[in-house]
Amino acid sequence: MTPGARVAAAIEILEKIERSKSPADDVVSSYLRGRRYIGSKDRRAITGRVFDILRRQARLDWHAATPSPRRRILADLQLNDNLSKDDISALFNGDGYAPGALTGDETALLDKLKDKSFDDADYPAAVATELPEWLAEILAAQWGDNFQTEAAALNQPASLDLRVNTLKGDCARALQVLQKDKIEADPTAYSPLGLRLKGRVNLQASTAFKGGFIEIQDEGSQIVALLVDTKADMKTIDLCAGGGGKTLTLGAAMKDGGPLIACDPDEDRLKKMKPRLRRGGVSNVTRHHISGDDDPWFQDHAGTAERVLADVPCSGSGAWRRAPAQKWRLTPERLEEFVALQQKIMTQAAELVIPGGRLIYATCSVLPSENEDQITWFLADHPDFRVLPIPEVWQAAIGTDGPENFYGDNTYLSLTPARHDTDGFFAAVLEKRHR
């Protein structure tokens, strides 16, 4: 592809992302799958450009004044690639697959930006941190003096972490298999099952992946599943199983014993879990499609589970470094919907727990309304539960001293990219009292 064609593809993808409700990486993948003629080098260049623009969107819009994917790319080419107006005009010449020629307004924009620098502008706080203003206010109150550092880390590209499948071998064995495919990785800082890849690799073509020795899973997600602290003789329910990442971790922790039930209202996601279970050698999982709030399954399993993991639907704010477009789609109204749904799921989960059993509430969010505030609400509404301090649970489940949260106390797990180099995760372990 010509450089102009790459730019045109990036603009088209960014326009599709704006119109779509799907995650940006799904939109990119769909676009590239439909154009097999685009080579691997071009794919990397286009994908890199798209995600760079998404991570710089607020600052580019601040410079470009009128938001649009095309104007963002124009500003980015001048401010970050340091191209001249003539160089940019050559890319936007309308020939072949190149973008259409610059308009008068676009030429005026480039003239205005000629002596500007992307880094030296006096950005407002929300713009500097690449956040909608209402979210910047919430997180500034949450993080105080560390707001800029925390927000900046949420806007950086994420590492690719692996979880070692202990049903197939330990970390040393997984590393050996990876090394045969010339894939390098290091142990993660906190999860005893985690490996962090060095550089970009075609992991799905590797023996380690195809053989089920490893699964792709962020270190923070591994930790949440490990803190469930389940064993083979404990009835365990993964109430919001989704694609099954934590279900697989639980299955391995239970040494493929049971019973382990993976539930979700999305039947297609449960079906897609099946090949992952097969590849990982996990056979102890019963999948259940939740048909609605009145599903008789809830009554059938009431008061029977030693462990219930409620990794609830949420804003996904802890994973913005992987999905930077999602922050711009979140609204206060949508956040309120998530909070109400989380409370409903917590109530359903509480009914499933046996006295002496545990409910583990988790989100991939850094917003207090989805995290600490939800536990305050739950305990007021469910006095038969008490919070177990995370350090105590961590020591029993993982056998090491856990990381410091730094904000507030360590009653709950609170991971962020800036402090722990993981996605943002929250977890609380709640034990049901004996009556």
284 is written with which tokens? 């102890």
**Are 10 and 83 members of one domain?**
yes
242/224 Cα distance (integer angstroms): 15
Phi then psi for residue 426, to 5 deg, are -125, 140
pLDDT digit of tens for each residue in the chain (435 aa)?
899 999 999 999 999 999 998 889 999 999 999 888 899 899 999 999 999 999 999 999 999 988 999 999 999 999 999 999 999 999 999 888 999 999 999 999 999 999 888 987 789 999 999 999 999 999 999 999 999 999 999 999 999 999 999 999 999 999 999 999 999 999 999 999 999 999 888 898 999 999 999 999 999 999 999 999 999 999 999 999 999 999 999 999 999 887 999 999 999 999 999 999 999 999 999 999 999 999 999 999 999 999 999 999 999 999 999 999 999 999 999 999 999 999 999 999 999 999 999 999 999 999 999 999 999 999 999 999 999 999 999 999 999 988 887 566 679 999 999 999 999 999 999 999 987
My answer on whether 189 and 90 are in the same domain is no
Same domain, yes or no: 327 and 407: yes
pLDDT single digits (tens) 7-44: 999 999 999 999 998 889 999 999 999 888 899 899 99
Instruction: For residue 294, give its domain range.
Output: 219-432
User: Please, are residues 44 and 137 in contact by the beta-carbon 8 Å criterion?
Assistant: no
pLDDT given at position 404: 80
Do 392 and 334 share a structural domain? yes
Distance between CA atoms of 139 and 315, rounded to whole angstroms? 14
Residue 129 lies inside a defined structural domain of this protein:
no
Q: What pTM does this model have?
A: 0.94
Same domain, 231 and 379: yes
The strand pairing partners of 361, in sequence order, are 310, 428
User: How far, in Å, CA of 229 to CA of 232, rounded?
Assistant: 10
Task: Give the domain CATH number at 70.
Answer: 1.10.940
Task: Answer yes or no: do 262 and 345 share one domain.
Answer: yes
Contacts of 55 (CB under 8 A, 6+ apart): 130, 155, 156, 157, 324
| 106 alpha-carbon distance from chain centroid | 36
Please give the backbone phi and psi of residue 139, each rounded to the nearest 5 degrees, phi first.
-75, -30
Domain boundary among 94, 123, 152: 123
Q: 22 and 168: one domain?
A: no
d(CA 2, CA 369): 47
For 17, 18, 130, 350, 372, the CA distances from 326, given in Å and listed in that order, are 10, 10, 12, 30, 22
Residue 144 lies in a domain: no
Same domain, 354 and 245: yes
pLDDT score for 415: 95
Q: What is the 3-state secondary structure (H, E, C) of the chain?
A: CCHHHHHHHHHHHHHHHHHCCCCHHHHHHHHHHCCCCCCHHHHHHHHHHHHHHHHCHHHHHHHHCCCCHHHHHHHHHHHCCCCCHHHHHHHCCCCCCCCCCCCHHHHHHHHHCCCCCCCCCCCCHHHHCCCCHHHHHHHHHHHHHHHHHHHHHHCCCCCCEEEECCCCCCHHHHHHHHHHCCCCEEECCCCCCEEEECCCCCHHHCHHHHCCCEEECCHHHHHHHHCCCCCCCCCEEECCCCCCHHHHHHHHHCCCCCCEEEEECCHHHHHHHHHHHHHHCCCCEEEEECCCCCCHHHHHCCCCEEEEEEECCCCCHHHCCCCCCHHHHCCHHHHHHHHHHHHHHHHHHHHHEEEEEEEEEEECCCCHHHCHHHHHHHHHHCCCEEEECHHHHHHHHHCCCCCCCCCCCCCCEEECHHHHCCCCEEEEEEEECCC
Report yes or no on 346 lying in a domain: yes
In a domain, 138, yes or no: no
Same domain, 200 and 227: no
- Give the pLDDT confidence score for residue 120 in this predicted structure: 73
Report pLDDT digits (tens) over 101-115: 999 999 999 999 998
Residue 156 located in a structural domain: no
Position 423 in a domain: yes
Q: How far apart are CA 13 and CA 236, in angstroms?
A: 42
